[in-house]
Chain A
Amino acid sequence: MAPSKEKKPSTDWKKWVKFEYMRLRALRRYKRADEIKSAWNENRQLLSDQLLDEDRRQLSCRAVWVAPVEKQLQGKINKMAVADVMCGERRDKHSVPLRMLYQANPLPTMYKWSPIQNNFMVEDETVLHNIPYMGDEVLDKDGSFIEELIKNYDGKVHGDQEPGFIDDEIFVDLVKALIPHQNKDGGDSETDSGDPPQPTMAVFEAISDMFPDRGSPRELKEKYQELIDPQALPPECTPNIDGPSAQSVPREQTMHSFRTLFCRRCYKYDCFLHRLKSYHPGPSTHKRKTPDLPISTEPCGENCYLHLDGERDKIVARLQPTEEEAADRQRKTPKPWSVDSGNEASSEDSNDSVHPETTKSALTGALQGVVTSMDRSRRRTGSGDASTGTAASGVSPDPTVEDEAWTGADQSLFRALHPIFLNNYCAVAQAMISKTCQQVYRFAQEEASNLPAEEHVKDATPPRKKKKKLRLWSVHCRKIQLKKDSSSNHVYNYTPCNHPGQPCDETCSCVGAQNFCEKFCQCSLDCECQNRFPGCRCKAQCNTKQCPCFLAVRECDPDLCRSCGAHHLQVDKIQCKNVSVQRGLHKHLLMAPSDVAGWGIFLEDSAQKNEFISEYCGEVITQDEADRRGKVYDKYMCSFLFNLNNDFVVDATRKGNKIRFANHSINPNCYAKVMMVNGDHRIGIFAKRPIQPGDELFFDYRYGPTEQLKFVGIEREMEFL
């Protein structure tokens, strides 16, 4: 391998690379064509099979037309269709009255769309997926339109492969195809030792020369190694904790998938709406305000760690200064746990009612007993030592055997649970099932000695005295209103703020965007953020401006507004009328050809004034994407774009709900309002006046949501009406 070659590959190499590359591309094209062909043939075969089946079915059953004997209606002149039917030797005359078929009006055009009930965020399309077809005459008339369209996408059209296109598969094939050439080039320098000859550096140099954007020869070689031997790489994901190959990994790794995919706002994994990275600041590293599970001084069972010497005293001693009274009370009146496991559990009730260990059911104990006995029997068979004792007397198992029994899954699970239950080893053991309380305790001690000091102890800060801050609501609301009014009409999307250690001041992203901090913000956890919306304390229906939520164009937050019943899961229990968008309490809508144009949407039941009709759902796209799509929609003369805020637009063209069929009118019976619903801007359509059943719904398209917000304040609404 001469150094000169490294500088500049020979023309031969260039030729070879080019030749092989073109050959591979052509091969791939042929392969693709063959695939398409075979797929087509397959489908065709399927269809013809179906047709054959149908034919066979129809032939097998002899169809007999039974002509019903129609009574001639008196006084009516019915034309009759008469047919002679040969029925064996008998010739029957069958007659049936002719009936008039009414002319049916053709339905308006409808393009396929997918139904959704919540907004759906999609990524920007940076390549033009298809050239919209809107009739030949449009394209003939306006040839520049397509060019303009392509220019919008920077000339990128789907399926357009640039000449330098190369992917992993082609790369590997190319390298393999070039290996024979290296023998031709300098056969003596390479010894034919192994059966699969390794590509020399010359191959990668040549490729790198041909495709300079693919990286240097060394990078290419590394990539090739990776692609050739995927086993060499470490596995991408943590093994299944329930699977046989579960390993002992740190907590971070165990929780990684859940942590990255969980959407704090939708309570779903990999949700449809909050797909931006900034939406997910991840779980806060700060200490939560939620109280810990109180540690009991009663042993949970015979294997409880409290039976160990001195442990109980330690616990009692630690609990004494702070929770003596509570512990006393608990000891006096132990509440069965099952009573409290009701549905409406608030997050603040655990102080006096949680005392799980004492009421651990007998079955759980039995389960653990089974586990321990099986564990023990296995141990016995494994070690051959049968003298360890009976199942019931496993008070102090052999510590060496204990350690042996901790599998990777157990260890990972313990690490996941430990920060939650802290030193409450009973709870940890119960959650883990497979380990006894004492085993957990012992393992925890081991872990603590291995790992650097953990913050198992409670915070040094004494529990703050919480005082309900009864701020003057009117003052607060006026402040909010002033802030809103003084600003321009720009409405920015809400993104949870994440600035640990800093109060929400001018630097906070929420304050900058003139949004309130929501429960999803990191600030809400560590301090009383001044920028948070306080929620309402209405006892009524929250549909007047008396309600601060209504006034601030927000829907009632189920976690903030407690008195109006917004938190009930059952919809019929909610008396608050300001939760319609989040609960999807839309009216029943019916689609029919419109009296005005195209399709229209009609109300099945009546609606009162200001009653919620439906949410305008669709794809959430960026303003840039909306500009690009809008060009096409304008050409179609049919647009379902709806401005959501300064950052995003709702497009109901591809995904939407039925309200997308509402037509425009300058004297509409509905109006649109963009509301802040649990941190998301959503578009609600409301009745502008009482609407009768069967009426077609209209709203005024001219008012974008940004203008809409102007019209929801007190004085603006007067103006509007």
Chain B
Amino acid sequence: MAPKKREREDENSRTSTDLVKQDHDHEMFLQAFEKPTQIYRYLRARSLVSPLFLHRNLLYMRRASARRVKPKVTRVNALLAMAEKKQSDLTNCTPGQYLTISHIGYYVSKDDSPPSSVRVEVSLKKLCHKRRKEGAAPAVTTSFGWTEVVVNPSDASAPPTVPTSCVPAESFSTQNGSGPKTFVLVVRVSPQQGNRENEEPNNKRRKVSRSSSAASSEPLRAELPVTDRAGRCLLTDGEYDVLLTAEPASQPSAAASATPGRPGANSPRKTSWESFDDGKPVPVPLDAFSTAPTLKLRLAWTNQPPQPTVERPRPLQPRDTNQPASAVAKRCGRGTVKKEESSSSANSRESWSVDKDRPPAGAGSPPTPPLILYQFIYGPAARQQTEARQDLLCPWCCLDCGKLYPLLKHLQLCHARFTFCYTPFARGARIDVSLNESYDSSYAGNPLDLTRPPGARCGPGRRTPSTSVLVCRPRRQKPSLAEFQQTETEERMRPFVTGHNRMYHRTATNLAIPPAELGYDSEGEHDHPWLRTKTRRMIYEFSDVNEGEKALMVMWNLHVMKYNFVGDLQMPQALAMFIEQHGATIVNRNLYRNFVLHLASLYDFGVISPGHIHRAIQQFQELVEGDGDLTSTLVNNLLGAAS
């Protein structure tokens, strides 16, 4: 439910430039709030389809959605009493023990030359629960006798007494074995000479009458539902005009019209409550009451069974014609009722004077929900207010929080893209809503999901090691509304995740590193390829160094770079490794004498001793002698140089 925004007009700024600026500001304001609102609406819809968690399980929502009725403690001794009490539940819901029906008269149009009186049968039809195999709902009809009703009694010529029928309230009990669902009071009017066949069970009767015998006997009937689906009694005390339909086969629309202003109790199937406030015409054809035959009844709930005939009651006067709408509203939907009440109570200050001294809906539970006002703040000046609302629904989720504290907590935690600041005022609460500038919208899940194409994973893959603290029990403060009051929200704790909860990238290419390759330090080597190329190029660029020297120097440089020798002491070993790895190359590339010169150079710099040189030469020759090809190559090279 989007908050209805109403611009608070600034009366002073009326110039056009100001208006333009104001429009612009307003536009910016709407844009700023639009995106988060859309997101939260989407999230609401998603959580309806596949909820991530249940709001009612949250700690702060616990008191809000707690069951109103405590679970009953069942004792064996109390079982009978409970059963009896249950049985009388419906009876209790009826206003009295007996439903007394006073038949005031049967009105039919004058030109039909009606008989002086008609027979009226009152019966109760119980509609039972529909079983699976049965085509129609089973119905049981109980008749409550016949009465003679005068036709068209005028005020003058009316008989002083009217016949009554009595329906005991026990008949409405739902605890019978068949488990009736609803009750319908059936009023059937037949001419005086009508036969007795109407006393047959109604369901059969109806079926038959629909096909053949409707026209012959001309029984007129009407149905009045006693209870609605929720078991509430619809037949309240009052005078009813029951519209009788001649053909039961056609639609059994029985409309009852009581005193003006009361909407008719219609057939439960076809009708619905309509709200009158918008002035729509009532769809029920009220003019039918003037043409069709009607039966005027007066219903009253009494505690004693009435006399068969009672004194004719005086006709009721229309009540309070000045305010029909409010009276109508009482019979309308609950939502409308609430709204009217809230608006009316908002208008009247007196109703709030009672609550003034009470703390506004904190730990206590005020009997009336406080008035909640959302004020949207954007920039220094742009602020808009919603209408005051009395329900504690979250404006984005429509979640009924029940109380103010859960509402504020819910807003703060579930709608973190906004900041909420709570200010109590006399009649309730004002909540300042502004954009949360420091909202961290970063993705908190597996960082690999962001770069990996979705659905690309097949089989298990390694995740980066990270530890998430799932259970954290900080000392919980007592819930108090004061925590929402300061605007500067205290630094919100980051999620308790330690370890590699992020996506790492290669330094050279900026590509993401899959977790399986994290353990390998790819960029740690001392001889990066480009450095190898660089040293090669630098040596080869010398113009006064001959080819043999260059080749040997490059080979030696690469060797030193690869193993990162650090001290003079490591040089003999470095030489040994060099000979081991590159000895064959030295021979094949005809570099032996250059290698000896290299040894001499190391000696000149004081790095190695003559003993080391001798040892190196010996090792080299041993290596060469181990391989016949190398031996011949070396000999050829040395003699080739001589020739």
Contacts and interface: CB of A to CB of B under 8 A. Distances in A.
B609 A269 contact: no
A266 B344 CA distance: 92
Contacts of A586: 524
A519 B553 contact: no
Interface stretch (B53-61, B170-178, B314-322, B506-514): B506-514
Contacts of B539: 261, 269-270
A431 B466 CA distance: 60
Interface stretch (B91-99, B419-427, B528-536): B528-536
B546 interface: yes
A234 B310 CA distance: 150
B605 A264 contact: yes
A409 interface: yes
A267 B607 contact: yes
B600 interface: yes
Nearest to A382: B643
Interface in B397-447: 442-443
A107 B566 contact: no
Contact of A240 (B504, B542, B546): B546
Contact of A350 (B506, B534, B547, B611): B611
Contacts of B601: 255, 258-259, 262, 283
Interface string B439-466: 0001100000111011100000000011
Contacts of B549: 240, 257-258
Given A102-B450, A431-B596, A431-B617, A420 B610 contact: yes
B618 interface: yes
B619 A569 contact: no
Interface string B553-582: 100110011011111111111101000000
Interface string A553-585: 000011100000011010000000001001110
B503 A558 contact: no
Interface string B497-521: 0111111111110100100001101
Contacts of B466: 694
A525 interface: yes
B501 A658 contact: no
Interface string A386-411: 00000000000000000001010110
Interface string A238-258: 111111101000000011011
Chain B contact-residue range equals 35 or more
A292 B560 contact: no
Contacts of B631: 367, 370
A242 B592 contact: yes
A417 B596 contact: yes
Contacts of B593: 241-242, 246, 409, 413
B545 interface: yes
B624 to A, nearest CB: 8
A592 B502 contact: yes
B450 A434 contact: no
A343 B519 CA distance: 32
A477 interface: no
Given A267-B565, A267-B607, A557-B567, A434 B639 contact: yes
Interface string A99-125: 111111101001000111110000000
Contacts of B602: 262
Contacts of B523: 115, 657-658
B174 to A, nearest CB: 37
B569 A431 contact: no
Nearest to B452: A102
Contacts of A110: 510
B364 to A, nearest CB: 42
Contacts of A101: 453-454
Interface in B326-361: none
Given A291-B609, A345-B615, A242 B641 contact: yes
Given A242-B591, A371-B638, A434-B642, A346 B621 contact: no
Contacts of B563: 569
Given A101-B454, A354-B614, A343 B609 contact: no
Interface string B13-56: 00000000000000000000000000000000000011000000
Nearest to B526: A117
A270 B597 contact: no
B548 interface: yes
A270 B535 CA distance: 8
B528 A117 contact: yes
A533 to B, nearest CB: 14
Given A346-B569, A350-B611, A433 B526 contact: no
A638 interface: no
Contacts of A502: none
Of B573, B622, B638, chain A has the most CB atoms within 10 Å of the CB of B638
A269 B555 CA distance: 10
A267 B455 CA distance: 53
B637 interface: yes
Chain A interface, >50% SS class: loop
B526 A584 contact: yes
B622 A592 contact: no
Contacts, number: 307
B277 interface: no
A283 B604 contact: yes
B615 A559 contact: no
Given A258-B601, A363-B625, A269 B614 contact: no
Contact of A283 (B557, B606, B608): B606
A417 B603 CA distance: 10
A244 B639 contact: no
Given A242-B590, A417-B596, A584-B524, A337 B454 contact: no
B640 to A, nearest CB: 7
B594 A241 contact: yes
B600 A244 contact: no
Contacts of A341: 576, 615, 618-619
B538 interface: yes
A405 B602 CA distance: 29
A264 B546 CA distance: 21
A237 B499 contact: no
B618 A430 contact: yes
A193 B530 CA distance: 56
A118 B507 contact: no
A88 B571 CA distance: 73
B74 interface: no
B576 A347 contact: no
A265 B572 CA distance: 15
A347 B609 contact: yes
A427 interface: yes
Contacts of B571: 267
Contacts of A105: 442, 450
A564 B498 CA distance: 37
A421 B614 contact: yes
B556 A288 contact: no
Contacts of A76: 50
A85 interface: no
Contacts of A519: 568
Given A236-B544, A243-B548, A519-B568, A433 B615 contact: no
B596 A104 contact: no
A590 B518 contact: yes
Given A258-B597, A421-B610, 4 more contacts: A242-B590, A261-B545, A433-B592, A590-B500
| Chain A to chain B: the 5 pairs with minimum beta-carbon distance, closest first | A558-B567, A258-B601, A363-B625, A350-B611, A283-B604
23 contacts: A105-B442, A115-B508, A117-B524, A242-B548, A242-B641, A257-B544, A261-B542, A267-B571, A272-B535, A283-B606, A290-B610, A345-B572, A361-B622, A364-B622, A367-B625, A367-B631, A433-B621, A433-B634, A567-B570, A586-B524, A590-B518, A591-B504, A657-B523
Interface of B: 49-50, 442-443, 449-451, 453-455, 465-466, 498-508, 510, 513, 518-519, 521, 523-526, 528, 530-531, 534-535, 538-539, 542-549, 553, 556-557, 560-561, 563-574, 576, 590-594, 596-598, 600-615, 617-619, 621-622, 624-625, 631, 634-635, 637-643
